[in-house]
Structure 1
């Protein structure tokens, strides 16, 4: 068997293994997302006094997908980072005080104190 012949048998196996790994990762992400959604749906809807501690964004790809995060600090001193929509992100300001509504890890709203 020549080296060239080995490459012709190795390449399809290698591509198949990579395909299975990528497919497995995609299935894992989908199942994790479904599991988190079910957990959030079964969590109580809470509204608590909170302060906006910080904000950040994460850009994936060539500006093709942006995720917006806001960290809220509740009265106990605990912090939670929640994903918010871009429009909502622009309206929130660090150190604002208000009422945070959330369900599990899902952001619902933030109403500023007047």
Structure 2
């Protein structure tokens, strides 16, 4: 009697069906783990910024950049806006800004940067 290597007789299909819960479980754990890690990092950064001293000091806009993500298929694209400021001690801070704030700055601008940790509050151009 010959066994059918298809669906009823085991073989490759049986191995795939028995591996499916393991693969699905692994992907599920990775997705949930990634969400948890990003959430913990976000809360940690938020808390760190709240505890940091709010500072106002002279700065120069060194560079601007954008990061576009999403936008495949029927989903819309989103854009994050970043500006790098150089402080008097030559250290640099890259901060995420809203689009309206980003649009008002140009590379080379100098003025007073108001920030708290990595949180941008304002930039008053000279």
The normalised TM-score by structure 1 is 0.95
For residues 68-112 of structure 1, give each alpha carbon's deviation from its aligned partner in whole angstroms, at most 9, with x where no partner exists: 000001111111100000000000111111000100000010001
CA distance in structure 1 between the partners assigned to 2:64 and 2:12 by the alignment: 55
User: Which is bigger in relative contact order (C-alpha 8 A, separation at least 6)?
Assistant: 1
2:44 alignment counterpart: 35
Query: Runs in 1 of length 4+ with deviation above 2 angstroms?
Result: none
2:21 counterpart of 1:12: yes
Q: Which structure 1 residue ranges, 5 or more long, are not aligned?
A: none
- Worse-matched range after superposition: 55-64 or 21-30: 55-64
Unmatched tracts of structure 2, length 5 or more:
1-9
Match in the other structure for 1:70: 83
Greater C-alpha radius of gyration: 2
Question: In structure 1, how many angstroms separate the alpha carbons of the residues matched to 2:106 and 2:12?
Answer: 63
Find the aligned partners of 1:76 and 1:3 in 2 and give their Cα distance. Answer: 65
In the alignment, the residues of structure 1 paired with residue 13 and residue 80 of structure 2 have an alpha-carbon distance, to the nearest angstrom, of 46
How many pairs were matched up? 113
TM-score for both structures, normalised by structure 2: 0.86
Question: In 2, Cα distance between the equivalents of 1:3 and 1:85?
Answer: 53
Q: What is the distance in 2 between the residues matched to 1:95 and 1:82? A: 16
